Amino acid sequence: MYSTFLALETARRALSAHQKAMEVVGHNIANAANPGYVRREAILEATPPYVAAQGTSFARTGAIGTGVEVAKIKRIFDGFLEGRIREANVTLGYWEGLEQVLTEIESVFREPSDVGLGEDLTRFFLAWDNLSSRPEGTPLRAALVEESKTLASHVNRITRSLRDLSSDIDVDLSAKVSEINSLAREIAAQNHEIVKVTAVGNDPGDLKDKRDIAISRLSKLVNITAFETEGGGVAIQIGSRDLVREDFAYELVYESGSLPGEQLDPADVEISRILWKRDARPVDIKGGDLAARLEGRNERVPEYYNYIETFITTLCNEVNSIHRSGYGIDDPPTTEIDFLIYDHEKRILRVNPQFDPEVGGSLSRIAAASTQHVGDGSVAFAIARLKEELVMEGGTESIPGFYQNLIARIGVATRNSAHMVEVHEATYRQCINNKDSVSGVSIDEELINLTRYQKVYQAASRFFTVVDEMLDTIINRTGIVGR
């Protein structure tokens, strides 16, 4: 009689266990398209057998099985593959961030194009060349002033745009730091919940999935290392310092430095920094989007800004040095005067107002001649010749060549960063594919498991019915004769 009840309990356990297994399969299928989901597997184990007593000892042989149960819901997770994904994400985040910064810098210069500074520079020297052939011509002098004003305006737009870009990167960096702090708090809160759920023996798989997604987003922003602690929590470090430990998150702060060209003395330039809020120590930023934007803010934009400043300063010095030696066609002839003026404090280039009729100047003051003879255009010709003169980089480059080399440097850097994005995107995708082959959901495989569990469930149900009929016979029919 007891063995019949034991069989009934075995059947009940089989039904319960395989129903739970089918629920796990259903959960997998429901999340098959969820990119952050890690496949689950119901681990079935035989329950402890029933050992019948014989006198004062127990009969070890012939113990009766008591069925099956779901020992645990296993999360099919490979920590090594997850670590590889995070490493790939850090590198990819860096190159994507740097590509975006360099693309923004490239857009400031608008080169190569018909509306770039290079074309304005060509027209500027051409205007001087034209004036050298007819130095007494008022229309040619007016054209020179207009081309010069266009050149100055374009130069000013570039320097202003580079400073604005630095300010925009400041805003972006501040937002990125806030996002890191938010993700750190989110991970710390999830740690707290996971440890609580694990402590009472429940499965925190879905919470771990959400935490892994947050860690993945964090790894795109900054170089991190993550490792699991006792109780199911995850510790996250930047460099050798904790960002998250158990259920506590440490915050970062962003400190903006000087804008390009803001300090006349290079020794006074302050770089932008990311600091630990708790003690104001610098954060060891070596990868991720944050590192790329810091590099753009502290190195790339100031570097190109300094190139443009060198270009402006040399252009002004060389043009003015020749122009001061010449004479205008006014009476008495104007001499010893600069043609271009660069305000180093305000960082503005302009044509000397003495030559601009719109502000009360006179075109006749432009010094195109080296003598006071009518028709002498030697000074204008000498300035036009600056287009070919090697006056930059220690006498190795011309002014237009220096600018074109700058554009080439930016273009090469941008193309290289775009190529590195493609390379590391492929590496990251391969890491994701490797993870999916282990942790991803295969619909075909899940349908096979579903069919297997369903058949066992049906068999257990049939077994339950048979045992129930046996009990009915024993309880209700035993001793009844003639029916």
pLDDT tens track for 386-424: 999 999 998 999 999 999 999 999 999 999 999 999 999
Tell me whether residue 186 is in a domain: yes
Tell me whether residue 434 is in a domain: no
**Residues making up the chain, counted from first to last:** 483
- 206 and 164 fall within a common domain: yes
- 59 and 153 fall within a common domain: no
* φ and ψ of 243, to 5 deg: -95, -40
Q: How many structural domains compose the chain?
A: 2
Residue 112: cis peptide before it, omega within 30 degrees of 0: yes
With cut-offs at 50, 70 and 90, classify the pLDDT of residue 452.
very high
pLDDT mean over 339-353: 93
**Pair 159, 347: CB distance under 8 Å:** yes
Tell me whether residue 274 is in a domain: yes
Nearest to 208 by CA among 243, 247, 234: 234
Question: What's the confidence (pLDDT) of residue 2?
Answer: 53
Tell me whether residue 238 is in a domain: yes
**Long-range contacts of range 405-411, CB-CB < 8 Å, 24 or more positions apart?**
406/304, 406/307, 406/308, 406/311, 407/109, 407/111, 407/112, 407/118, 410/102, 410/105, 410/106, 410/109, 410/304, 411/106, 411/111
- C-alpha angle with apex 442: 439 to 447, nearest 5 degrees? 130
Nearest to 153 by CA among 348, 386, 360, 301: 348
* φ and ψ of 347, to 5 deg: 60, 50
pLDDT mean over 92-115: 92
Task: Name the percent of the chain lying above pLDDT 90.
Answer: 68
Query: Encoding tokens for residue 369?
Result: 């001649």
- 169 and 206 fall within a common domain: yes
Q: Per-residue pLDDT tens for 263-272?
A: 656 566 688 9
- 25 and 156 fall within a common domain: no
pLDDT mean over 56-75: 73
Nearest to 352 by CA among 123, 332, 314, 360: 360
- 69 and 211 fall within a common domain: no
Q: Per-residue pLDDT tens for 117-166?
A: 999 999 999 999 999 999 988 999 999 999 999 999 999 999 999 999 99
Question: What's the confidence (pLDDT) of residue 62?
Answer: 58
Range of the domain at 134: 84-429
Query: Encoding tokens for residue 441?
Result: 């959901």
pLDDT of 59 higher than 80: no
CA separation for the pair 91, 70 (Å, rounded): 41
Q: Share the mean pLDDT of the chain.
A: 90
47 burial (CB, 10 Å; 0-12 / 13-18 / 19+) is middle
- 463 and 394 fall within a common domain: no
Question: What's the confidence (pLDDT) of residue 401?
Answer: 95
Tell me whether residue 145 is in a domain: yes
Q: 3-state SS string over the chain?
A: CHHHHHHHHHHHHHHHHHHHHHHHHHHHHHCCCCCCCCCEEEEEEECCCECCEECCEECCCCCECCCEEEEEEEECCCHHHHHHHHHHHHHHHHHHHHHHHHHHHHHHHCCCCCCCHHHHHHHHHHHHHHHHHCCCCHHHHHHHHHHHHHHHHHHHHHHHHHHHHHHHHHHHHHHHHHHHHHHHHHHHHHHHHHHHHHHCCCCCHHHHHHHHHHHHHHHHHCCCEEEECCCCCEEEEECCEEEEECCEECCEEEECCCCCCCCCCHHHCCCCEEEECCCCCECCCCCHHHHHHHHHHHHHHHHHHHHHHHHHHHHHHHHHHHHCCCECCCCCCCECCCCEEEECCCCEEEECHHHCHHHCCCHHHCCCECCCCCCCCHHHHHHHHCCCCCCECCCCECHHHHHHHHHHHHHHHHHHHHHHHHHHHHHHHHHHHHHHHHHCCCHHHHHHHHHHHHHHHHHHHHHHHHHHHHHHHHHHHCCCCCC
Tell me whether residue 483 is in a domain: no
- 114 and 163 fall within a common domain: yes
- 57 and 184 fall within a common domain: no
Q: Per-residue pLDDT tens for 309-340?
A: 999 999 999 999 999 999 999 888 989 999 99
- 186 and 214 fall within a common domain: yes
- 96 and 70 fall within a common domain: no
- 136 and 178 fall within a common domain: yes
With cut-offs at 50, 70 and 90, classify the pLDDT of residue 465.
confident
End-to-end CA distance of the chain, in Å?
Answer: 23
- 103 and 121 fall within a common domain: yes
Query: Encoding tokens for residue 240?
Result: 């050798």
Tell me whether residue 52 is in a domain: yes
Q: Per-residue pLDDT tens for 162-205?
A: 999 999 999 999 999 999 999 999 999 999 999 999 888 888 88
Task: Name the percent of the chain lying above pLDDT 70.
Answer: 93
Nearest to 190 by CA among 172, 206, 170: 206
Tell me whether residue 438 is in a domain: no
